[in-house]
Amino acid sequence: MDQLFQEKPQTISKQPGWCSNDMWANLSRAEFEFVFSRAEKKILRKRKPIKVSEWSEKHRIVTMSRLPGIWKNSVTPYLASIMDAAALPFVREIIVCKTPQTGVSEAAHNFIGYCIDRDPGPVLYVYPDEKTAGENSKDRILPMIKSSPRLRTYLTGTEKDASTLRINMQHMPIYLGWGRSVASIANKPIKIAISDEVDKPGFDPGKKESPPLDLIDDRLITFRETSTHWKISTPTVESGNIWRELNENTDVIFDYHVKCPLCNNVQLMEFRGIHWDGGSKADIKVIKNKKLAWYECNFCPGKWDDVSRDMAVRGGVWRDRLTGLSIDAYLERLRPANIGFHIPSWISYFVSLSEVVVAFLKGNEDPEKLQKFKNSYEGLPWKNIIIKHDEEEILDHKNHLPAGVVPQDAVALTCGIDVQKHGFWFVVRSWTRDMSNHLVQYGFLSTWKDVENLVFNTTYPVEAKENVQMGIWRAAIDTGGGKSESDEWTKTEEIYEWVRINNRDTVFAIKGASNPQLKKVVPRVIDKMTKGNRVIEGGLVIFFLDTSKFKDLYHWRLGRSPEESQTTTLNSDTGIDYAKQILAVQKQTDKQKKVEWVQIRRDDHLFDCEVYASACADPEWSPSLQFMARQAPSSNQRRIISRGIDGNK
Residue 227: half-sphere exposure toward Cβ, Cα within 13 Å = 22
Residue 628 pLDDT > 50? no
- Mean pLDDT of all residues in 631-645: 41
Q: What is the dihedral of CA 406, 366, 518, 643, to 10 degrees?
A: 30
Residue 166 pLDDT > 90? yes
Residue 388: predicted pLDDT:
67
Residue 428 pLDDT > 80? yes
Residue 317: predicted pLDDT:
98
SS3 414: strand
Residue 489: predicted pLDDT:
62
Contact 585, 604 (CB under 8 A): yes
Question: Which DSSP letter does residue 346 get?
Answer: G
Residue 642: predicted pLDDT:
46
CA–CA distance, 269 with 15 (Å, rounded to integer): 73
List the Cα angle 472/476/480 in 5-degree steps: 155
- Mean pLDDT of all residues in 579-587: 91
**Distance from the first to the final alpha carbon of the chain:** 88
Residue 624: predicted pLDDT:
47
Residue 367 pLDDT > 50? yes
CA–CA distance, 255 with 344 (Å, rounded to integer): 9
Residue 28: predicted pLDDT:
59
Residue 482: predicted pLDDT:
54
Residue 629: predicted pLDDT:
37
Q: How confident is the model at residue 593 (pLDDT cuts 50, 70, 90)?
A: low
Q: Which residues pair with 430 in a beta bridge?
A: 413, 438
Residue 194: predicted pLDDT:
97
Contact 569, 394 (CB under 8 A): no
Residue 345: predicted pLDDT:
98
- Mean pLDDT of all residues in 552-565: 90
List the Cα angle 224/231/163 in 5-degree steps: 85
Question: Which DSSP letter does residue 45 get?
Answer: S
Q: Which residues pair with 177 in a beta bridge?
A: 126
Residue 364: predicted pLDDT:
85
CB atoms within 10 A of CB 452: 18
Residue 558 pLDDT > 80? yes
Q: Which residue has the higher pLDDT, 91 or 490?
A: 91
Residue 266 pLDDT > 60? yes
SS3 117: helix
Burial zone of 495 (CB within 10 Å; 0-12 exposed, 13-18 middle, 19+ buried): buried
Q: In this predicted model, what pLDDT tens digit does every residue of 116-161 receive, in sequence order?
A: 999 999 999 999 999 999 999 999 999 999 999 999 999 998 888 8
Residue 276: predicted pLDDT:
95
Q: In this predicted model, what pLDDT tens digit does every residue of 67-84 receive, in sequence order?
A: 899 999 999 999 999 999
Residue 207: predicted pLDDT:
64
- Mean pLDDT of all residues in 587-597: 73
Q: How confident is the model at residue 31 (pLDDT cuts 50, 70, 90)?
A: low
- Mean pLDDT of all residues in 81-88: 98
Lowest average pLDDT, out of 213-217, 484-488, 555-559, goes to 484-488
Q: Could you please report the per-residue DSSP string of 191-204?
A: SEEEEE-TTSGGGS
SS3 335: coil
Residue 375 pLDDT > 80? yes
403-561+604-628: CATH number: 3.30.420
Lowest average pLDDT, out of 216-220, 278-282, 335-339, 478-482, goes to 478-482
Q: How confident is the model at residue 8 (pLDDT cuts 50, 70, 90)?
A: low
- Mean pLDDT of all residues in 182-211: 88
Residue 472 pLDDT > 80? yes
In this prediction, what percent of the chain has a pLDDT beyond 90?
65
Residue 258: predicted pLDDT:
98
49-249: CATH number: 3.40.50.300
- Mean pLDDT of all residues in 77-101: 97
Q: Determine which helix (DSSP H) or strand (DSSP E) holds 185, and give its type and residue range.
A: helix 182-185
Contact 415, 457 (CB under 8 A): no
SS3 632: coil
Q: In this predicted model, what pLDDT tens digit does every residue of 319-343 receive, in sequence order?
A: 999 999 999 999 999 999 999 999 9
CA–CA distance, 429 with 438 (Å, rounded to integer): 5
- Mean pLDDT of all residues in 557-566: 88
Residue 212: predicted pLDDT:
92
Q: Could you please report the per-residue DSSP string of 241-273?
A: HHHHHHHHS-SEEEEEEEE-TTT--EEE--GGG
Contact 230, 108 (CB under 8 A): yes
- Mean pLDDT of all residues in 406-423: 94
Q: Which residue has the higher pLDDT, 416 or 47?
A: 416
CA–CA distance, 197 with 21 (Å, rounded to integer): 71
pTM of the model: 0.76
CA–CA distance, 391 with 579 (Å, rounded to integer): 5
Phi, psi (deg, nearest 5) at residue 292: -90, -5
Helix axes 78-86, 52-59, angle to 10 degrees: 110
Contact 426, 445 (CB under 8 A): yes
Q: Which residues pair with 600 in a beta bridge?
A: none
Give me the chain's average pLDDT, please: 87
Residue 54: predicted pLDDT:
97
* Nearby residues of 547 by Cβ (< 8 Å), 6 or more positions away: 512, 513, 597, 608, 611
Residue 25 pLDDT > 80? no
List the Cα angle 302/308/311 in 5-degree steps: 120
Residue 411: predicted pLDDT:
95
Burial zone of 126 (CB within 10 Å; 0-12 exposed, 13-18 middle, 19+ buried): buried
Q: Which residues pair with 523 in a beta bridge?
A: 543
Residue 163 pLDDT > 50? yes
Domain ranges of the chain: 2-44, 49-249, 256-338+351-382, 403-561+604-628
Question: Which DSSP letter does residue 139 get?
Answer: I
From its phi and psi, is residue 210 left (phi > 0), alpha (psi between -120 and 50) or beta?
beta
Helix axes 78-86, 104-118, angle to 10 degrees: 40
Contact 269, 298 (CB under 8 A): no
Lowest average pLDDT, out of 51-65, 82-96, 284-298, 629-643, goes to 629-643
Contact 439, 398 (CB under 8 A): no
CA distances from 333 to 325, 326, 327, 328 (A): 10, 11, 10, 9
CB atoms within 10 A of CB 469: 13
- Mean pLDDT of all residues in 393-418: 95
Contact 437, 560 (CB under 8 A): no
